[in-house]
Amino acid sequence: MTDHREPLSSVLETIGETPLVDVHDAPDAVPVYAKLESFNPGASVKDRIGKYMLERMLERGDVGEGGTVVEPTAGNTGIGLAVAAGQLGLNAVFVVPERFSVEKQQLMRALGAEVVNTPSEEGMGLAIDRAHQIAEELDDAVVPQQFSNPLNVEAHYETTAPEIDAALDGEVGAVVAGCGTGGTLMGLAEYFRERDPDTYVAAVEPAGSAYREFLGEDVEHEEYKTEGIGTHDIDRNELFDPEIVDDIIAVPDREVHEEMGRLAAEEGQLVASSAAANAIAAKRVARDIRDGAIDAPHDAVATIFCDSSERYLSKGVYRSFEEWEG
């Protein structure tokens, strides 16, 4: 384990070992704890997979030093991969649909990556196709493809989950996390189900997103503002295993917006929309455990605060709901 009080040789060593903090308005009997992933150097949960995937892919020889990483990404994964690529001697190219936060794209460029934009209307599908096209045209290039790469899940199984387990002395009864790729939740679920097969597992998505189709529900697809989680095409979410989840909780943008404001004003937590969605869902699970509606083997509920609101200020996250929506 890295001791952050000692001098470190590179920023890569500062990834992980993030703080775990109590979320205040959960029931006393069933506390909710959130892992503050904005403490990573690229300021999101995705630094973990950036480092983990690239180190493993270099070890395996999927790409050599001086080669290029090409990834379709909404932003945070690009930043995480760019931080790691720069330190591991790799070039980086990211294919980003235009609608995603400009702050993230600026950060990727600052870290030395090239950013290629695709039209927002074409969604992530086109970005994925373009990434593969670009990689084929380069000499030594690899597409980690976070949506289907088991290393994404493994990064959380090997780092995020054991850190939470150690901090809570084995008292985790439920894990609740928003799913973009599903990598974070699947890694946590696999780890804690091994510790105790009765661990309760809940996925979180914005209302209007289609993850609940995995459970056979009819979902009306709608656009949502909550960023980094959700899907409109479950066929692409290859890592998500519906067998492992007990529930998929949909949180409307309006509640997310209110909770982002509350977390900042009452708890000093400058966290973004996916973190607010996770907080809402985790508190719901905690209340259900307290009321006996959910059986969980222990009382603590663990969730993730994936990144900071600062990354989305240009989108008006702290202005009125209508301004954020518009």
Binding letters toward ligand PMP, positions 163-182, x by CB under 6 A: ---------------xxxxx
Any idea what DSSP says for residue 291? T
Residue 61 beta carbon to ligand PMP: minimum distance, rounded to whole angstroms:
26
CA 118 from centre of chain: 22
Q: From residue 6, how far is each of 1, 18, 76, 239, 324 by CA, in Å?
A: 12, 16, 27, 36, 42
148 is catalytic: no
**Is the Cβ of residue 40 or residue 76 nearer to ligand PMP in the bound state?**
76
**Is the Cβ of residue 184 or residue 199 nearer to ligand PMP in the bound state?**
184
Token pair listed for 1: 């384990």
The answer to whether 183 contacts ligand PMP (rule: CB under 6 A) is yes
Query: How many Cβ atoms from other residues are within 10 Å of residue 289's Cβ?
Result: 22
Binding letters toward ligand PMP, positions 65-94, x by CB under 6 A: ---------x-x------------------
The answer to whether 96 contacts ligand PMP (rule: CB under 6 A) is no
One DSSP character per residue, 210-257 reads: -GGGGGT-----------S---S-GGG-TT--GGG-SEEEEE-HHHHH
**Is the Cβ of residue 67 or residue 192 nearer to ligand PMP in the bound state?**
192
Footprint of ligand PMP on 252-291 (CB under 6 A): 272, 274
Catalytic residue among 35, 46, 104, 315: 46
CB closest to ligand PMP, residue no: 228
State the number of binding residues for ligand PMP (CB under 6 A). 18
| Nearest of 110, 114, 66 to residue 90 by alpha carbon | 66
The answer to whether 105 contacts ligand PMP (rule: CB under 6 A) is no
Q: Which residues, 6+ apart, have CB-to-CB distance to 3 below 8 Å?
A: none
Pick one of 159, 184, 308, 309: the residue that binds ligand PMP (CB under 6 A).
184
The phi, psi pair for 142, rounded to 5°, reads: -140, 145
Q: Which residues pair with 71 in a beta bridge?
A: 94
225 is catalytic: no
**Is the Cβ of residue 74 or residue 142 nearer to ligand PMP in the bound state?**
74
Q: Which residues would be at the binding site for ligand PMP (CB under 6 A)?
A: 44, 46, 74, 76, 178-184, 227-229, 272, 274, 306-307
